[in-house]
Structure 1
């Protein structure tokens, strides 16, 4: 029970309420019992008091000789004595003072007073009223003592009732005070502390003073729980704050690394990276990644030693340079004489361009993020070298292609013209060595030589114009319009028309160059060999996004002989068409003239078609 009261505030308050109710009920029951016991006390006092009056009446009636009146009063007095006993709280045989006085009154009445009164009334004993009153005086004194006893009993009951009421009042007041004290001490103050602590926790303050509630009841358990919860939350909050700081630092590092990779990628896209600048990028990477002792060895695929060895910090001080092939082919961490080396080969498409090394003291290692950054930097360097090599290869291929085109152009134009001039010079020598020089024939040969030289010079100028051709800011349309103006100036008798509808088509530089050269080749053939007065150039786009190029003239039409076709540069146009994966068709028009028709699909349309196929799949 005491443990329950100590461990439960609810049980404690309930016990106080129960005690208060029990005290109140006890007071009510005691009051009821006492009041019920005192119910006949007034009647008993009244009846006992009336015995004195009847005694005085008998002292006056008996000497008169009225036997009947005396008997009536005597019976009435005896009856009241019986009534007094019946309403008393004690029996006649009790040892109480009131019971003893009652028995004394009964004994005096039945043994002395009543027989005396009846004898006097019957005249058997002579006595006057004064003498009788004197003889009744002890009886009356006993009756007075009995009345006093009943009065005392009634007063004692009233005093007991008052004592019970006062005691109940004090007990109830004490219980109420005790309840208020317990509520204030063990409920109000702890609840106030709990409320203030809860408000501070709600505001995010977990570092206030602990709750000093040492009771074993529910509020004490709640206070200890809140203290534990606050400590745990505070520790968790500090841990989270520390982790947030670490994550923020990591994110900052990641941001710096991403910014570094972005700047490096942008620089790679701008052009080749020389060794000195690559060393600067290696230093910047070391600062971003918080790494020292970096080595970047660059090698040719066929070489056995690096042509460039860039070092950041102390680098790999144990690098002897005698086993570069093994070092380049090794990947991952290795332990070498009191240090740990991480190697990241610069490899792409099974071609190795060198290795990136990071040297650490023995016992230290790189985390996953640092290894990822090193691998990313190695990939970027590899991509830069590969892009530079690819661009150089493309430039070499483009140069060789252009040289092949120049050779074909020279062969189809100047070479044939020079061969023709050589033949004419041979004829002229023969004519000069003959015994009889035919001046007319010599003049004819000289005239043909002059025309051949003019033709060769004109072809040379056209070739120079073609080889110097560049596409400026105006794009394909602008250069075509400039070429047409040049044709009109050189050949005012020929009307050259342009129908251009490719303003919304995004052509690549490769497509523009080949398309321009093809149109110029076909239009030059039409201008110089068609013998017509109109050339129409049309560039349009079909519904399937393919491009249609048509060059038409109203001249004599193309020859069906193969050697004539080659003379007009048809093979060059076929090669340019194949470079664009297009279809070239050259035919004689029914209404007269020649039509060169070329159809091809530009790169952007091919990519769109592949995207649609992928989406449908």
Structure 2
């Protein structure tokens, strides 16, 4: 059975733990808050004691200043001092009355202290302050009377201030007692909370975990009859029920382990056979071989795997809509002759081709006349599966069984997979054939361009010279004949050298990834044929180019050297190759050069340059020809690193 649904919030273990912790947290915060409040009040009371006590000091100072004023009437410095002291006392009363929470400073909020403060404040403002003002007045008589009265009043004022200070001190003593009591309560709370939390953690967590650990230890000893009592409804209760459920399952599984092992072994054997079929088919279909041999091997492997009594492989003719039988096993010659070329709709397999669906026919059922030939040959089941290559319908294959046969969904998926593998292999053969045709066609085009640029132009020149020779002979101009014959001899020699050079270029081959060796060989041949000095330098060690790219680079170099031999009249050729991230090749000669604008006007007429550009485009490289009359020519080839293909 599955675990129970989600517990109510109040039954969850997390809720209990959080509730206990929050309760202790609230008590702790309350005790701490009380302590902080009492400490704050004590600081305010201490400041109030200091401020109230300062009233006595200010009163004594005021008495001294007033006595000095009586002895020395008219002394302005004394009057100013008296006025300042009066202001100090008034400021002290204002601070005590308003309080200052930031300092902190405030009187304790008791009625006794408040009444005493109001009495002291009233005595000061109504009596003492007025007498002090009279003492510093200008009337001598009033000053003397006020001074004697001030002396008698100030003593009682100081006694009242003393009473107020003592009241504040007694209040502070009481608050200090409560502060210590709250601190002791906080300590007691911490001790009791720790003990309570330890007990609750043991009760709620440790004890259930120990029970589960004990049960697991028994399970590891193959005591699958172990069951744990469910003592709570929280998460541990659910875990306990889950443990008991797991124990039930394990006990049932252990009792049926042998049967399950046999079933798993058989399943693994089937999977291994399937993997072996896929691996063997993939390895076989990757081999270079004709389509017939490929289909023959494919059908043999499929028949062996599914123990089929017969089968066929057919390839579709998209142009005519026919399905041609390529190979067949286990069916009669008459059947093969009748269905060697089948159109959609001729039988149920033909209908499946038109609808592009895989079908399995049970021929033991009546009413399927289109499959009459298969029934006459004793087949009970005929299955048909398609051959696809990249969603393109290539053909289909059939399996024939003399006994009834059904295919599971997994087996149908396997047959569709191997059908796609065969379709991909057939399509690869077709693509390879088309690629070879395109390569041959492109190479023939380059051969034709090379012949046109060399031999065809030489033959045209010799044809013109022959016409001029004929005209000179008819006109009896023998002096012109010698010049024409020399020109013909030079043209024949040049054409011979062009043919020889073309043959050497087209026969050029690369050793295994040895572009440097092939280039060096080409430069040595060029040096021997032309006696032109060649300076070749190679820098860098980039990743090797693919074989196609290496061949095209070699052909471009050969064509550039051919142009130098024919047109440049150079004495020195400098070749620099930088093989870093980008592949860069520069061929510079010190020949006569040419006008770049003239080259642009010729366009397609300059076949040699166009051949080099076409070869560069094949490998997605960039080719530039830079030249000026009398300054030689530079041919630059650059292959960006993103276009480099691994060798």
Q: TM-score range by the shorter chain?
A: 0.5 to 0.7
2:617 maps to 1:578 = yes
The residue correspondences of 1:113-132 to structure 2 (distance < 5 A) are none
Matches of 2:335 and 2:359 in 1, distance apart? 15
- SS at 2:593 equivalent: coil
Partner of 2:314: 297
Partner of 1:280: 297
Partner of 2:516: 477
- SS at 1:469 equivalent: coil
Q: Contact between 2:381 and 2:400, CA under 8 Å: does it hold in 1?
A: yes
The alpha-carbon distance between structure 1 residues 277 and 447, as it changes in their structure 2 partners (threshold 3 A), is: same
The residue correspondences of 1:161-310 to structure 2 (distance < 5 A) are 232-233=252-253, 235-265=255-285, 268=286, 270-310=287-327
Q: Contact between 2:450 and 2:607, CA under 8 Å: does it hold in 1?
A: no
- Select the residue among 400, 406, 423 that pairs with 2:447: 406
- Structure 1's unaligned 5+ residue stretches are 1-197, 207-227, 608-617
Partner of 1:541: 579
Partner of 1:332: 358
Matches of 2:473 and 2:577 in 1, distance apart? 54
The Cα shift of 1:202 comes to 5.3
2:394 maps to 1:394 = no
The alpha-carbon distance between structure 1 residues 343 and 571, as it changes in their structure 2 partners (threshold 3 A), is: same
Instruction: Give the RMSD, CA atoms, in angstroms.
Output: 3.5
The Cα shift of 1:340 comes to 4.4
The residue correspondences of 1:97-112 to structure 2 (distance < 5 A) are none
Matches of 2:251 and 2:622 in 1, distance apart? 81
- Structure 2's unaligned 5+ residue stretches are 1-216, 226-247, 365-379
- SS at 1:532 equivalent: coil
The Cα shift of 1:286 comes to 2.2
Partner of 1:57: none
- SS at 1:402 equivalent: helix
2:404 maps to 1:369 = no
- Select the residue among 457, 461, 464 that pairs with 1:416: 457
2:540 maps to 1:521 = no
The Cα shift of 1:275 comes to 1.2
- SS at 2:425 equivalent: helix
What is the aligned length?
383
Matches of 1:554 and 1:419 in 2, distance apart? 29
- SS at 1:597 equivalent: strand
Q: Contact between 2:384 and 2:398, CA under 8 Å: does it hold in 1?
A: yes
- SS at 1:431 equivalent: helix
Q: Which range moves more in the overlay, 459-468 or 313-322?
A: 313-322
Q: Contact between 1:502 and 1:540, CA under 8 Å: does it hold in 2?
A: yes
2:598 maps to 1:557 = no
The alpha-carbon distance between structure 1 residues 451 and 230, as it changes in their structure 2 partners (threshold 3 A), is: closer
- SS at 1:359 equivalent: strand
Matches of 2:329 and 2:642 in 1, distance apart? 44
The alpha-carbon distance between structure 1 residues 550 and 323, as it changes in their structure 2 partners (threshold 3 A), is: same
Moved over 6 A (4+): 198-201, 203-206, 228-231, 315-319
Q: Contact between 2:545 and 2:644, CA under 8 Å: does it hold in 1?
A: no
Report the TM-score when normalising by structure 2: 0.53
Q: Contact between 2:291 and 2:426, CA under 8 Å: does it hold in 1?
A: no
Partner of 1:490: 529
Partner of 1:355: 396
Q: Contact between 2:573 and 2:587, CA under 8 Å: does it hold in 1?
A: yes
Matches of 1:357 and 1:604 in 2, distance apart? 45
Partner of 1:593: 632
Matches of 2:538 and 2:306 in 1, distance apart? 55
Q: Contact between 1:333 and 1:340, CA under 8 Å: does it hold in 2?
A: no
Matches of 1:317 and 1:602 in 2, distance apart? 61
Matches of 1:204 and 1:289 in 2, distance apart? 45
Report the TM-score when normalising by structure 1: 0.56
The Cα shift of 1:337 comes to 3.5
Q: Contact between 1:257 and 1:289, CA under 8 Å: does it hold in 2?
A: no
Alignment deviations for residues 561-617 of structure 1 (CA, whole Å, 9 cap, x no partner): 23778447111112222222232211126992110112222566589xxxxxxxxxx
The alpha-carbon distance between structure 1 residues 306 and 341, as it changes in their structure 2 partners (threshold 3 A), is: same
Partner of 1:151: none
Matches of 1:418 and 1:590 in 2, distance apart? 28
The alpha-carbon distance between structure 1 residues 289 and 240, as it changes in their structure 2 partners (threshold 3 A), is: same
Q: Which range moves more in the overlay, 382-391 or 528-537?
A: 528-537
